[in-house]
Amino acid sequence: MLSLTRRCHKLPFSRLLTTDVLKAKTIGVIGMGNVGNALVKNLERTGYNVTSILDSDSTRYADFADRGYSIPASPLELTREVDIVFTGLPMPHHVKQVFEGGLLEGLTNGKIWIDHSTTDYEQTEEMCAEVEKNGGRMLEAPVTGGLEALKKGQMTVFVAGEKGLSEEVKPMLEDIYSNVIYTGRMGTALVPKVISNMLTCVHNLAMGEAFMLAKRSGVDMRTMFDCIRASAGNSFVFETGGPMLMQGTYDPSFTIELQCKDNRLGYQMATKHKVPIEILGHAMQAYNKAMYKYGDEAPCYIAPKMLEEALDTDLRCEEFKDWSYSIQNVDGSSVIRHHGIDIKRTDKKELADFEV
């Protein structure tokens, strides 16, 4: 309680007033998969008033059986019950189905829709226009950073749409995420989100080749990890996907089907704007190949397994069997903090000495 009080004392009075107003509003969440599940828990943890949840798969209510949430029969009923609706849906057609299945009809009298789905930005632009005609308000807000970070409220969220609305809900978003970036007009948040996801494919494929090259050259896997992590070749994917590769889990929190969907969205953008994507396009095809080989539900970082099988060499490392990670926002960059492995920690004095 003391830490929470101290945190509140550091906040501007106007920020506290805005937060109090937002915490008085009722909130509904449609889509209780990985994103929706973690979203509800983060909203609960930070004191927001979630009252309604909805998913086509009733087994996803299991974590919330004792919360007393309303479970409406349709998106329309949920939207009528609440002031703010969050959605986190897997595919563009799912977003469209919910939108046309009552969400739009219920978005009247200034009700707010915040969409966390990674979807077709042109479809989102069209939906926003309809929402505004109906008297509602909308923001697109895709999140990035990985499921473990999402569970801890350490994700980055890109926000696009009406600037005034983004400022109204920013205190809430800052409470449940570590970094909130406003990108501009509706549609502009999904562009960097999709491109970011495409870049992870390039990094992952190159990372698999790099580890294989190191292992076949006689370099210890943990040593390789430490060397690259401290060098110019480092990346978010190397620091998170690398340990998952060495565990043999390949990030089961996100399916390769969803990753390939994001790649297709990026390809559609490139086609529309006539941008050649030779490297991103090659990564897209490699991921398609991995999906066809291992199935839609395979983990999203599984593509390097094709190289492991082709060379009959696995890239496991026992030191990473208990590894996990968290994210720290440092000057707007996502810095990975490693857990479950023996690692040299930077102490507070070293950090203070680094400050300019």
Percent of the chain with pLDDT over 70: 92
Amino acid 29: pLDDT: 98
Q: Is the pLDDT of residue 44 over 60?
A: yes
Residue 79 token pair? 């939207």
Q: Which of 167, 107, 98 is closest to 138 using CA atoms? A: 107
Interhelix angle 13-24/163-176, rounded to 10 degrees, is 90
Residue 92 token pair? 């563009």
Amino acid 7: pLDDT: 41
**Between 346 and 83, residue with greater pLDDT:** 83
Residue 136 token pair? 């509602």
- Based on the number of CB atoms within 10 Å of its own CB, is 349 exposed (0-12), middle (13-18) or buried (19 or more)? exposed
Amino acid 109: pLDDT: 96
The residue ranges of DSSP E strands in the chain, in sequence order, are 26-30, 49-54, 84-87, 112-115, 137-140, 143-144, 156-161, 179-184, 324-330, 333-339
Amino acid 14: pLDDT: 54
Question: CA 336 to CA 346: how far, in whole Å?
Answer: 13
Q: What is the mean pLDDT of the chain?
A: 93
Q: pLDDT band at 355, cuts 50/70/90?
A: low
Question: CA 177 to CA 188: how far, in whole Å?
Answer: 19
Half-sphere exposure of 158 (CA within 13 A, CB side): 21
Across 26-44, average pLDDT: 96
- Which residues, 6 or more positions from 113, have their beta carbon under 8 angstroms from its beta carbon? 84, 85, 87, 103, 107, 131, 136, 137, 138, 139
pLDDT in tens, 220-260: 999 999 999 999 999 999 999 999 999 999 999 999 999 99
Amino acid 345: pLDDT: 80
Question: CA 159 to CA 142: how far, in whole Å?
Answer: 7
Amino acid 9: pLDDT: 42
Single pTM value for the model: 0.90
Amino acid 350: pLDDT: 55
Q: Is the pLDDT of residue 352 over 60?
A: no
Amino acid 151: pLDDT: 85
Q: Is the pLDDT of residue 4 over 50?
A: no
Q: Is the pLDDT of residue 11 over 90?
A: no
* Neighbouring-strand partners of residue 158: 181
> CA gyration radius for the chain?
21
Q: pLDDT band at 348, cuts 50/70/90?
A: low
Q: pLDDT band at 325, cuts 50/70/90?
A: very high
Residue 313 token pair? 């060499």
CB 191 within 8 A of CB 178: no
Q: Chain-centre distance of CA 180, in angstroms? A: 12
